[in-house]
């Protein structure tokens, strides 16, 4: 009879399979939601949000206002949120928490400013005043488009990405950590007696110049040592 296989104990800090899948899913959802949300906001703010008719001496002229004409806040916050989404992977610990909070606040600010701009006609009235030459020119037959709410939906996606980053971001990988590990591994291989660097390689020549050495004198010294 064969002995029953004894289950190996799981390391204390090693996440379970469902937890690991949850962290990977949160990362994928946050990246997709953040990128899609920023794209929706930037697209929506470039489209027509409101239109109306301005009364002038010759009759009436149609006027329209894009999202950027009504409020520039959603577009600016979308850029801030997108930058914060990228910066999450370049920082750690408290810095990652601060950047995640900035991402969430950017999304919330987009939602609020887009909702306020959905019924704002100040930009139309300003354009009507310029056309008519009057300080307070009235605007008639004002109509609004769904684009402000598209921008608000993009803000919700950015807010979702920020909330996920706040909840799971400490478990996500960091770009700096990967490079640091690669550099540490390279230094460890050198300490263990790895192959000596080739002085004729271009990168070694540049390193010698950075140290203030003359790389052209190295072969001469080596030949002299071998002759001695």
Distance CA 34, CA 27 (A): 11
Task: Return the pLDDT at 35.
Answer: 95
Distance CA 139, CA 68 (A): 19
Residues of the chain with pLDDT under 50: 1-4, 6, 9, 11-12, 176-180, 190
Task: Return the pLDDT at 105.
Answer: 97
Task: Return the pLDDT at 128.
Answer: 76
> Residue 172: which residues within 8 A CB-CB, separation 6 or more?
23, 26, 27, 88, 89, 165
Whole-number Cα distances in Å, 132 to 140, 141, 219: 13, 16, 83
Task: Return the pLDDT at 193.
Answer: 52
Task: Return the pLDDT at 179.
Answer: 45
Task: Return the pLDDT at 169.
Answer: 79
pLDDT digits (tens, 9 = 90+) for 72-86: 999 999 999 999 999
Q: Residue 115: exposed, middle, or buried by beta-carbon count in 10 A (0-12, 13-18, 19+)?
A: middle
């Amino acid at each position: 009879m064969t002995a029953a296989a004894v289950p190996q104990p799981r390391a204390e800090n090693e996440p379970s399979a469902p937890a690991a899948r949850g962290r990977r899913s949160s990362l994928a959802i946050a990246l997709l939601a953040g990128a899609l949300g920023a794209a929706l906001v930037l697209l929506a703010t470039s489209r027509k949000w409101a239109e109306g008719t301005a009364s002038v001496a010759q009759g009436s002229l149609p006027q329209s206002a894009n999202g950027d004409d009504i409020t520039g806040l959603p577009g600016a916050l979308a850029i801030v949120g997108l930058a914060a989404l990228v910066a999450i992977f370049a920082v750690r610990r408290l810095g990652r928490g601060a950047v995640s909070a900035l991402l969430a606040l950017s999304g919330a600010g987009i939602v609020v400013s887009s909702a306020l701009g959905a019924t704002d006609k100040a930009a139309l009235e300003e354009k009507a005043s310029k056309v008519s030459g009057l300080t307070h020119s009235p605007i008639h037959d004002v109509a609004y488009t769904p684009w402000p709410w598209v921008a608000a939906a993009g803000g919700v996606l950015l807010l979702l990405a920020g909330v996920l980053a706040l909840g799971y971001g400490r478990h996500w990988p960091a770009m700096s950590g990967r490079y640091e590990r690669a550099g540490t591994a390279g230094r460890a291989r050198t300490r263990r007696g790895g192959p000596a660097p080739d002085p004729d390689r271009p990168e070694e020549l540049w390193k010698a110049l950075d140290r203030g050495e003359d790389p052209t004198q190295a072969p001469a010294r080596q030949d002299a040592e071998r002759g001695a």
